[in-house]
Amino acid sequence: QSALTQPPSASGSPGQSVTISCTGTSSDVGGYNYVSWYQQHPGKAPKLMIYEVTKRPSGVPDRFSGSKSANTASLTVSGLQAEDEADYYCSSYAGSNMWVFGGGTKLTVL
């Protein structure tokens, strides 16, 4: 069970869109539609932003969207705002009641 692969960093200017990728294998990301995304501000607990690849919990702005193609899931943040600057982590079901996280991506709003 290896960590999912995310780019260490991503950036965009206010109002722009940015996409963060999360690459796994056919045993996790590619095998199930159980990818979640979490936002974490410094010193805070993670917050659920997307679940089951594309679903948004109540209260999460529709600027956040998720998708998946083969073994890679993606989180897109549209209309970037200053408060979107945070670390983002993906997570996927890996079979046999196991879960795996990505290494995290630091999103900077320029």
34 lies in the site for other proteins, by CB under 8 A = yes
Q: Which is nearer to other proteins, 64 or 93 (CB)?
A: 93
Phi, psi at 7, each rounded to 5°: -70, 140
51 lies in the site for other proteins, by CB under 8 A = yes
Query: Distance (Å, rounded) from C-alpha 31 to C-alpha 33?
Result: 7
Residue with the two structure tokens 């979490």: 38
101 lies in the site for other proteins, by CB under 8 A = yes
Q: What is the CA radius of gyration of the chain?
A: 13
91 lies in the site for other proteins, by CB under 8 A = yes
Query: Distance (Å, rounded) from C-alpha 43 to C-alpha 53?
Result: 26
Instruction: Dig out the tokens for 11 from the structure.
Output: 């950036």
54 lies in the site for other proteins, by CB under 8 A = no
Instruction: Dig out the tokens for 76 from the structure.
Output: 């897109």
Taking residues 70 to 89 in sequence order and writing x for each that binds other proteins by CB under 8 A, - otherwise, the string is -------------------x
Residues in contact with other proteins by CB under 8 A are: 1, 3, 34, 36, 38, 45-48, 51-52, 57, 89, 91, 93, 96-104
